[in-house]
Amino acid sequence: MIPRSLAASLLVTLLAALSTPRAHAEIRLPNLLTDHAVLQREAPIHLWGWATPGASLTIHFHAQTLTTTANDLGEWSAWLMPEHAGGPYSLDIDGGPQEGKKHITDLLVGDVWIASGQSNMEIPLDGFPHSATIKDADKEIATATNPNIRLLLVDRKSSDVPLDDISGTWSQCTPDTARKFSAVAYFFGREIASTEHVPIGLIDSTWGGTPVDSWVSLDTLGTEPQLLSAFTNRAQFADTQASMPAQIAAEKATDAAAAAAGKPLPRHPWHPNEVSWLPAGIYNGMIAPLDKESIKGFLWYQGESDSGPARASHYSVLFPALIQDWRMHFQQGNLPFLFVQISSFNSPGEDWGMIRDAQRRTLYIADTAMAVSLDVGNPNNVHPADKQTVAARLALAARAIVYGEHIAYASPLFRQATTQPGAMRVWFNNANGLNVHGGAAPQGFELAGDDHHFVPATAKIEDGSVVVSTPALPNPRFVRYAWSNVVDQSLYNAAGLPASTFTSEEVPTPAP
């Protein structure tokens, strides 16, 4: 029998509990849907989030009103009808007395672009401390106020499983917010906002020093046999990690000894981040949380971390797989995918020519375009300063293939090579007005025989093509251009766009 005093105490506790209002789950939206966000124009607008399971929500946006109900896990989703560019607008979500209300302000309707890749896309307007700067950075930062551009910087994160949210939030474009944002993405967005006269939302989801397979989902990596090289590369990388702490300690000791002796610090091999080199890891942490968003397209600048001999030959398979993988997950058809061909850099033992050629060959995929950057590289710095030119070439591609302007946007691209006595003639697409600045003869061409051993050759522009020859090969079979890591001179078309690296081989020959 319960003592009377204890029974009285339990009764008081029960009555207090019954009289206390029941706690409810606050309506929650992902950080893609915060104040200052841009929603994709002229496409179904996706809204989603979390609430109490079974909660009924009423959504108001601009002139639209609709209702939705949270499922058994508390997840809810709703689609607004497409809107024309405009704003600012507010978004209100009413869950009644139990759920409360959510109010989001300063929303614009325009075009949303996701910029991704490694450090050359990541480098912000104020550069990387002690290692790289952006051309005219101070002036560019000081003039970066643009209320028609909104910025969302995604924090670095790798995950074993796909995540459903990010930690960053949208902000207006000001000198303070732009200085830490991708320079390429900012310059691109500024150009498109100016030419298309619509609000632009830029999502910066980048991580320096990362390989392509870190950005591809397991849905793709685990189902395509030709992509298993990603796991082989990971295994080889993992095998080196046990001795890595000792190696780094030895390098620090060497640095300390050099500093104590007043000598220059020695150069050491670059050591990639173990977490960022996990296949699919960065996709899970930094792309999967974005795939419910309606967007205009993708910008991509990556490939330097895949230029080593163990990886370069796989890029021609992994990079196209990434494009198809992202399109599959975003479920918005052939979203435009505009990418930068990696530039010139003195990196002994690596094969930048093979990466550049693999990027060129990826143009067989519909609704893609490539900005060639060979002529704005820096042989002594992997992060060249001129990101304005790179972004301008991406913007040309967007204006042509996405926004329908009739403008020249494509570099000269290898079409075919034909043989003639003692020489080969190279034909290009987009070849109107082939020239070398200053009127010099074209440089960087090589010829090979049946053994695929390439030797330097002379070249001349003739009748809209390039004739390549060398006395060392009276019967050449293959020709290539700009294959070395560093390219000193470029071949241009009349639009001022440089020709792409290429080889006429069906399967490129790896560097010796």
Domain assignment present for residue 449? The answer is: yes
Domain assignment present for residue 356? The answer is: no
Domain assignment present for residue 465? The answer is: yes
Region 425-439 average pLDDT: 95
Domain assignment present for residue 426? The answer is: yes
Task: Work out whether strand 413-420 and strand 423-429 pair parallel, antiparallel, or are unpaired.
Answer: antiparallel
Find out whether 431 and 498 touch, Cβ atoms under 8 Å. no
pLDDT of residue 21: 41
Q: What secondary structure letter does DSSP report for 358? A: H
Structural domain containing residue 495:
413-503
| pTM of the complete model | 0.90
Residue 231 pLDDT class (50, 70, 90 cuts)? low
pLDDT tens digit string along 96-134? 998 999 999 999 999 999 999 999 999 999 999 989 999
Tally the domains of the chain: 1
Domain assignment present for residue 430? The answer is: yes
Q: Does 263 or 171 have the greater pLDDT score?
A: 171
Domain assignment present for residue 434? The answer is: yes
- Angle value at C-alpha 163, between 159 and 166, nearest 5 degrees: 100
How far is it, in rounded angstroms, from Cα 440 to Cα 447? 20
Domain assignment present for residue 440? The answer is: yes
Domain assignment present for residue 242? The answer is: no
How far is it, in rounded angstroms, from Cα 146 to Cα 191? 12
Find out whether 473 and 448 touch, Cβ atoms under 8 Å. yes
Region 489-501 average pLDDT: 97
pLDDT tens digit string along 435-455? 999 889 999 999 999 999 999
Helices (H) and strands (E) in the chain, counts: 13, 23
Q: Which two tokens stand for residue 44?
A: 């179904």
Q: What is the CATH number for 475?
A: 2.60.40
Task: Quote the radius of gyration of the chain (alpha carbons, Å).
Answer: 27
pLDDT of residue 12: 42
What SS3 class is residue 105?
A: strand
pLDDT tens digit string along 190-201? 999 999 999 999
What SS3 class is residue 7?
A: helix
Residue partners of 289: CB distance under 8 A and separation at least 6: 30, 32, 154, 162, 163, 164, 165, 166
